């Protein structure tokens, strides 16, 4: 905490490019020349293949590092109670194919302050994204609207309630996934 700001003070001429809106605003408030640039992904590679999805609830990525402690705990609970499939893939075709097998993608990045790139990659591939809310400002800056183009939650109970609702309302699920894409 605070290490980046300390370093940036040593290079006051530098422009800081941030992939998180809230982080860029915090740095600006500290007097730094910070610019928000939303994350991007390879649109030629990642797309909806319009194929049947055989993983109802999934996550692709790492859960081992200490940074991911809360993510790991949340996803492991979902794995036990809801049959979440947690996997890792190689980049490229394997990643594309796996995302296109997942109906509901779960991002559990509590407290990160910004949405991870896999949020947008999975949405581009047609997954309905369930993401831990990174706050109203962050969501607004990216055009994310709860229950319109993404499903946001801030607790396990809220996630469970929204998953039950979405599971019982196929038309809503299809509409949110399409709007997210």
Condensed to tens digits (0 to 9), the pLDDT of residues 48-101 reads 999 999 999 999 987 676 666 778 888 889 999 999 999 999 999 999 999 999
Q: pTM above 0.85?
A: yes
Band of residue 2 on the pLDDT scale cut at 50, 70, 90: confident
Task: Give kind and range of the element (H or E) at residue 21.
Answer: helix 21-29
pLDDT, tens digit, 9 for 90 and up, residues 58-72: 999 876 766 667 788
In contact, 141 and 37? CB cutoff 8 Å: no
Rg (CA), the chain: 17
Spatial distance between the Cα atoms of 123 and 180, rounded to a whole number of angstroms = 6
Spatial distance between the Cα atoms of 106 and 58, rounded to a whole number of angstroms = 6
Spatial distance between the Cα atoms of 72 and 74, rounded to a whole number of angstroms = 6
């Amino acid at each position: 905490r605070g290490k980046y700001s300390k370093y940036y003070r040593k290079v006051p001429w530098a422009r800081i490019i941030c992939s998180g809106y809230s982080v860029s605003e915090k740095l600006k408030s500290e007097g730094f020349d910070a610019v928000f640039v939303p994350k991007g992904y390879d649109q030629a590679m990642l797309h909806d293949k319009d194929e049947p999805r055989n993983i109802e609830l999934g996550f692709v990525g790492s859960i081992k590092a200490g940074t991911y402690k809360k993510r790991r705990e949340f996803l492991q609970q979902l794995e036990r109670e809801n049959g979440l499939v947690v996997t890792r893939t190689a980049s490229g075709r394997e990643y594309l194919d796996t995302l296109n097998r997942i109906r509901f993608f779960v991002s559990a990045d509590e407290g990160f302050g910004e949405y991870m790139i896999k949020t947008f990659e999975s949405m581009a591939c047609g997954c309905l994204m369930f993401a831990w809310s990174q706050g109203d400002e962050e969501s607004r800056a990216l055009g994310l609207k709860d229950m319109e183009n993404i499903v946001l939650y801030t607790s396990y109970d809220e996630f469970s309630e929204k998953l039950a609702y979405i599971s019982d309302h196929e038309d809503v699920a299809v509409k949110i996934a399409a709007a997210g894409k």
